[in-house]
């Protein structure tokens, strides 16, 4: 009888354990999971999640100054660090009455224990006192909005004076934290009293190039038909204007076209996506266009007078900048007939 009673008690405990495990899993957004590089705060649940094989994101490295509502972007004392690679974004809801400072400190300590170095920490920045509209990018139309089972407002409408944010880096992995408080539950916003943290983890890597090189004859046909052609096979590192070696195949075809049609003169026009500041992107797109014209002149003997470099930043998108697929289409060089 003692054995029977023991077995019954053991089975009951197993059943309870499974029920508790199932309940814990059910708290997470369907399909969401922790990133292998960073464990969650004990007892918290994932309420927002997005994972992309390749994307770009800004990382704060200096004091927040203002939110540019027209551009939909934060402005800082210094330009942010823009990185590309595999991106995982999570929103966590902390348990009980956890506050944002406790939540943030735990993440910072965990990152430090793993060897991450701070690139910015608002709790160590005496000038970090103004947070007006900092959270605006978490709105449903903002760059920081992700799929969630609460609402955009758990981050977007949280208490601005409780914001703790930082950027931490180790090798090829960069982490951004934004922790906030809710001082009381709000059923309309699906927010509970306590704290939330947005965790962005980017692992830098080169994007797999899958664009087909446009041939000299295709360049000729497109320019004859529409007066321009988009070239996606000229590559640059993020924020830089140095042409990468894998661009040679496209440069070869552009040069072949120009040599076959010696009377043609072109505007070489650089286009960027909307990541980063508009002014810096405008200057960057011009430098990239000039770099292409210079490469065609120096390496292929094309007369400089036949090419004029121009940059238009993100003013002429061909797709939405809300997704990496769209941003990839917007990052291009166009050849436009003069």
Q: What is the reported pLDDT for 169?
A: 97
Separation CA 90–CA 207 (nearest Å): 22
Q: Are 91 and 197 in contact (CB under 8 A)?
A: yes
Q: Which of 174, 204, 234 finishes a domain?
A: 204
The stretch 231-239 carries a mean pLDDT of 87
Lowest mean pLDDT among 50-64, 111-125, 168-182, 201-215: 201-215
pLDDT of residue 18: 29
Measured CA distances, 290 to 48, 127, 293, 302 (Å): 42, 38, 5, 14
* 37 plus 130 within the same structural domain: yes
pLDDT band at 238 (very low <50, low <70, confident <90, very high): confident
Q: What is the pLDDT averaged over residues 179-201?
A: 93
Q: Do the domain assignments include residue 209?
A: no
Q: CA 311 to CA 270: how far, in whole Å?
A: 5
Of the two residues 69 and 14, the one the predictor is more confident about is 69
Q: Given 161, 176, 204, which residue is the final one in a domain?
A: 204
On the question of pLDDT at 220 being above 70, the answer is yes
Candidate ranges 10-14, 115-119, 138-142, 238-242; pick with highest mean pLDDT: 115-119
pLDDT of residue 19: 28
Q: Is residue 263 part of a domain?
A: yes
The reported pLDDT for the residue numbered 209 is 57
200 with 266, same domain: the answer is no
Give domain status of residue 2, yes or no: no
DSSP per-residue letters across 9-53: HHHHHHHHHHHHHHHHHHHSPTT----TTSPPPTT-EEEEEEEEE
Q: Do 72 and 130 fall within a single domain?
A: yes
pLDDT band at 254 (very low <50, low <70, confident <90, very high): very high
Whether residue 193 sits in one domain with residue 56 = yes
pLDDT band at 240 (very low <50, low <70, confident <90, very high): confident
Q: State the pLDDT confidence band at 322, using cuts at 50, 70 and 90.
A: confident
CB under 8 Å to 27, separation ≥6 — which residues?
45, 46
Same domain assignment for residues 166 and 32: yes
- Tell me, yes or no, whether 318 lies in a domain: yes
Averaged pLDDT, 93-105: 95
Q: Determine the pLDDT at residue 21.
A: 32
pLDDT at residue number 132? 95
Shared domain for 183 and 252, answered yes or no, is: no
What was the pLDDT predicted at 183? 87
Assess whether pLDDT exceeds 60 at residue 9: no
Instruction: Kindly state whether residues 185 and 70 are assigned to the same domain.
Output: yes
Residues 196 and 266 in one domain: no
95 and 139 belong to one structural domain: yes
In the predicted structure, residue 10 carries a pLDDT above the cut 70: no
Among 154, 183, 204, where does a domain finish? 204
Q: Are residues 171 and 287 in the same domain?
A: no
Query: 75 pLDDT exceeds 50?
Result: yes
Asked if 207 and 331 touch (Cβ cutoff 8 Å), the reply is no
In a domain, residue 22? The reply is no
Residue 298: the pLDDT is 95
State residue 302's pLDDT score: 96
Range of the domain at 283: 216-337
Residue 63 belongs to some domain of the structure: yes
**Are residues 176 and 93 located together in one domain of the fold?**
yes
pLDDT at 62 over 50: yes
Task: Categorise residue 286: left if φ over 0, alpha if ψ from -120 to 50, beta otherwise.
Answer: alpha
Q: Is residue 16 one of the residues assigned to a domain?
A: no
pLDDT tens column, 31-42: 999 999 999 999
Rounded distance, CA 48 to CA 89, Å? Answer: 8
pLDDT exceeds cutoff 70 at 23: no
Are the C-beta atoms of 303 and 290 separated by less than 8 Å?
A: no
Rounded to whole angstroms, how far apart are CA atoms 110 and 87? 20
Question: Which 8-state DSSP code applies to residue 150?
Answer: S
Least confident of 200-204, 231-235, 324-328: 324-328
CATH number at residue 283: 3.30.1330.60
Among the residue ranges 155-169, 206-220, 257-271, the one predicted with the least confidence is: 206-220
Averaged pLDDT for residues 226-242: 90
User: Does residue 292 lie within any of the structural domains?
Assistant: yes
Residues 166 and 229 in one domain: no
Tally of structural domains, the chain:
2
Query: For the segment 111-121, what is each residue's pLDDT rounded down to a tens digit?
Result: 999 999 999 99
101 pLDDT more than 80: yes
Global pTM value = 0.62
- For residue 7, give Cα distances in angstroms to 17, 18, 20: 15, 16, 20
């Amino acid at each position: 009888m003692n054995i029977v009673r023991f077995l019954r008690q053991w089975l009951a405990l197993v059943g309870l354990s499974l029920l508790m495990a199932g309940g814990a899993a059910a708290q997470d957004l369907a399909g969401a999971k922790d990133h292998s590089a960073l464990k969650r705060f004990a007892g918290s649940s994932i309420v927002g999640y997005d994972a992309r094989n390749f994307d770009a994101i800004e990382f704060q490295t200096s004091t927040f100054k203002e939110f540019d509502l027209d551009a939909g972007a934060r402005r800082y004392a210094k330009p942010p660090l823009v990185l590309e690679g595999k991106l995982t974004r999570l929103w966590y809801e902390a348990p009980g009455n956890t506050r944002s400072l406790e939540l943030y400190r735990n993440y910072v300590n965990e990152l430090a224990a793993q060897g991450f170095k701070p690139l910015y920490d608002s709790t160590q920045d005496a000038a970090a006192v103004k947070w007006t509209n900092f959270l605006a990018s978490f709105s449903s139309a903002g760059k920081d909005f992700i799929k969630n089972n609460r609402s955009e407002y758990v981050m977007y409408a949280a208490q601005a004076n409780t914001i703790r944010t930082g950027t931490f880096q180790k090798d090829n992995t960069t982490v951004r934290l934004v922790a906030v408080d809710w001082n009381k539950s709000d059923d309309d916003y699906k927010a509970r009293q306590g704290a939330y943290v947005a965790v962005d983890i980017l692992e830098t890597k080169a994007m797999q190039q899958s664009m087909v090189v446009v041939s000299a004859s295709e360049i000729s046909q497109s320019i004859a038909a529409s007066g321009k052609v988009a070239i996606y096979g000229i590559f640059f590192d993020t924020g830089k204007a140095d042409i990468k070696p894998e661009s040679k195949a496209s440069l070869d075809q552009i040069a072949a076209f120009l040599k076959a049609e010696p009377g043609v003169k072109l505007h070489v026009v650089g286009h960027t996506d909307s990541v980063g500041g508009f002014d810096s992107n405008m200057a960057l797109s011009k430098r990239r266009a000039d770099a292409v014209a210079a490469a065609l002149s120096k390496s292929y003997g094309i007369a400089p007078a036949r090419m004029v470099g121009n940059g238009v930043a993100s003013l002429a998108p061909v797709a939405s900048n809300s997704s990496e697929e769209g941003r990839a289409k917007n990052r291009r060089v166009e050849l436009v007939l003069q």
